[in-house]
Structure 1
Amino acid sequence: MSNYSFEKRKIWLSVGTALIATSMTATSADGLGAFESVSAPATMISVSTATLNEGEGGEGEGGEGEGLAQTDLSSDNAAYLARLGLIRGHLWVGIKLYQEGHIAMAKTHMKHPKDELYAGLEPVFEARGVEGFAKQLAALAAAVNQEQGDEAVDNAYSELLDAIDSSARVETMSAKEALISISQMIRTAADEYAIGVKKGSIVNVHEYQDAYGFTEIAIERLERLTTEQKEGAAEDIERTKQLLLELRALWPKVNPDGYVDGDAASLYGAAARIELMALN
């Protein structure tokens, strides 16, 4: 492996601060090494690093595949917020597609309690003393998939957002935890964008859209930080905001036609810079 490739992988891995207690061998066949299987409590959630090869071997949202590490979402606030942010990102882009009349596409982004991103969260919610949002998630999926109409979809989405907010309790987290969660979400958006866009061509519109949703929710999370959370981190929060707003140029439309002038490198770079700000 070239020194450049190794350094690039180190930068990408640094963004995943939720990946704890892992063992890597940089000289293995894929440069990532193998993670040993260990017994883990019910609140341990797998997080994928396999997308360093542009999605080969798994997805950055925690999909099954090689390069998995584990983090305890019951105690890791940043990773917990990132996981809920990914769920919200899927929903955000699904609703946007629905509002623009792309009903079939919207259905593919509707999450259900049995889906991958929600699976395994129940013991985490129990450990954190929150109710979760399985009922509301199922209600929105049903409203969209069964085409129950705009009012039903809007009401279900509003109730779901309230339930997610109640479970997230972002206002109780530190600015550092919020920023790290944002860096993790943007890193995952980069993984998805790298799968969806190749040399300006849309090769997987679903992944392109996922990346859009994750980035928009990251922006929203940043804008909702409280005055207390911003104290002592105002400069880094403002710099993060500017980085995120610049990323919007990567998505000219939610369902684009033709060439897209964007590259995942912008997302990877932003994710690394945001994490470094948070850690400092």
Structure 2
Amino acid sequence: MFEKRKVWAGVGSALIATSVAAQPSDNLTVTPVTSTVVSFSSMGEGEGGEGEGEGSAKVDLRTDNSAYLARLGLIRGHLWVGMKLYREGHLAMAKTHMKHPEDELYAGLAPVFKARGVEGFADELSVLADAVNNEEGDKAVESAYRHLVAAISKSEQMEDRTAKEALLSISQMIRTAADEYAIGVKSGEVVNVHEYQDAYGFTEIAIQRLEQLSDEQKMQAASDIESTKNWLMELRSLWPTVDPKGNVEGDAKHLYGASARIELAALN
């Protein structure tokens, strides 16, 4: 993901994209609304994980559970796509997705973890990145990845979150994926494969998060969760492969639209 500030439009503009992408059977009424939007590219700035991007509202990851889950989800997404590339033999590309504790998405999280009473996962990040970058072999890499995923799960504390918080975090992750896809794919041509891959990872982790909700969490918003699952599964067609050759049939508007729908479902 480009290390730069990103300007996010509000949900109103995303809904306009939804109206373009939606099929006639969707019966979606488009009503421009305003919403708080989080720019995760700048969230490493400020004490306590506070971030404030141009056109976005300040968030405090110490208290904003959905934004906190989204941040950790983006880290997971980078690692997920890195591991997929590694397993498929694309070692050079896999290395570019591995994260160190000093990288932007993790930087500044120490006070957030302290406030939330969790340990974080800096050591585990380093072990995985080193195992991949130093080409230590499949056994070392897979072991490091398992330990890292377990450490991230402990920091997320998903069992203490509500369905609404989970859905909002998914909406934020998909909106970030839309930004990445818009950079990576222009008129069907993959012009930046790294951004295309980032969007893939973020979306797959969003799907995983939905699937990992407890029965109690699913009961809180059963219909909205089912709708969200359907919207997310439809997005998978945007990535025919992790390392595409030639053009792809995809447009970021589908991601923006899904993000807006998920957010509205959560808020309702």
- Give TM-score scaled by structure 2 length: 0.84
Which letter maps to 2:51? S
Q: Alpha-carbon deviation of 1:93? A: 0.2
Percent identity of paired positions between Structure 1 and Structure 2? 66
Determine which of 64, 67, 71 is the counterpart of 1:76. Answer: 64
Aligned equivalent of 2:202, options 214, 223, 245: 214
Partner of 2:24: none
Q: How does 1:90-169 map to 2 (within 5 A)?
A: 90-169=78-157
CA positional deviation for 1:11: 6.8
How much does 1:171 deviate? 1.3
Farther-moved stretch of structure 1 (86-95 vs 9-18)? 9-18
Deviations 1:40-96 (CA, angstroms, capped at 9, x unpaired): 972142254xxxxxxxxxxxxxxxxx4454210000000000000000000000000
In the TM superposition, what whole-angstrom CA distance separates every residue of 1:106-142 from its partner, at most 9, and x where no partner exists?
Answer: 0000010000000000000000000000000000000
Structure 2 segments unaligned to the other structure (5+ residues):
1-9, 18-31, 40-44
CA distance in 1, matches of 2:72, 2:134: 25
1:231 Cα offset (Å): 1.2
Q: Which has the higher contact order (CA 8 A, sep 6+)?
A: 2
The alpha carbon displacement at 1:9 in A equals: 6.7
1:46 aligns with 2:46: no
Distance 1:159 1:83, change over 3 A: same
- Give a deviation string over 1:193-247, Cα, whole Å, max 9, x none: 0000000000000000000000000000000000111113101100000000000
Instruction: Count matched residues.
Output: 240
Identify which range, 10-19 or 208-217, moves more after superposition.
Answer: 10-19
The match for 1:186 is 174
Distance 1:80 1:11, change over 3 A: farther
Equivalent position amino acid for 1:169 in 2: Q
TM-score scaled by structure 1?
Answer: 0.81
Maintained 8 Å contact 1:15/1:272:
no
Please tell me whether the aligned partners of residues 18 and 78 of structure 1 are also in contact (alpha carbons under 8 angstroms).
Answer: no
Aligned equivalents of 1:15, 1:225: Cα separation in 2: 28
Aligned pair partner of 2:164 in 154, 157, 176: 176
1:16 Cα deviation (Å)?
6.4
CA RMSD across the alignment: 2.3
SS at match of 1:72: coil
Contact (CA 8 Å) 1:133, 1:164: kept in 2 or not? Answer: yes
Q: Gaps (5+ residues) in structure 1?
A: 21-39, 49-65
Higher helix fraction (1 or 2): 2
8 Å Cα contact 1:15-1:187 kept in structure 2: no
Alignment of 1:237-256 (within 5 A): 237-256=225-244
Task: Pick from 8, 12, 30 the counterpart of residue 13 of structure 2.
Answer: 8
CA distance in 1, matches of 2:11, 2:89: 44
What code does the residue aligned with 1:8 have? S
Counterpart CA distance in 2 for 1:245 and 1:275 is 16
Kept in 1, the 8 Å contact 2:113–2:155? The answer is yes
Q: Segments of 4+ in structure 1 off by > 6 A?
A: 9-16
Deviation of 1:155 (Å): 0.2
Residues in 1 aligned to 2:60 and 2:261: alpha-carbon distance in whole angstroms: 24
Paired with 2:97 and 2:11, the residues of 1 have a C-alpha distance of: 34
Check if 1:266 corresponds to 2:254.
Answer: yes
Q: 2:76 aligns with which of 88, 92, 111?
A: 88
> Structure 2: how far apart are the matches of 1:105 and 1:6?
33
Partner AA of 1:226 in structure 2: S
Counterparts of 1:29-68 in structure 2 under 5 Å? 42-46=47-51, 48=53, 66-67=54-55
The 2-side partners of 1:206 and 1:41 are apart by: 27
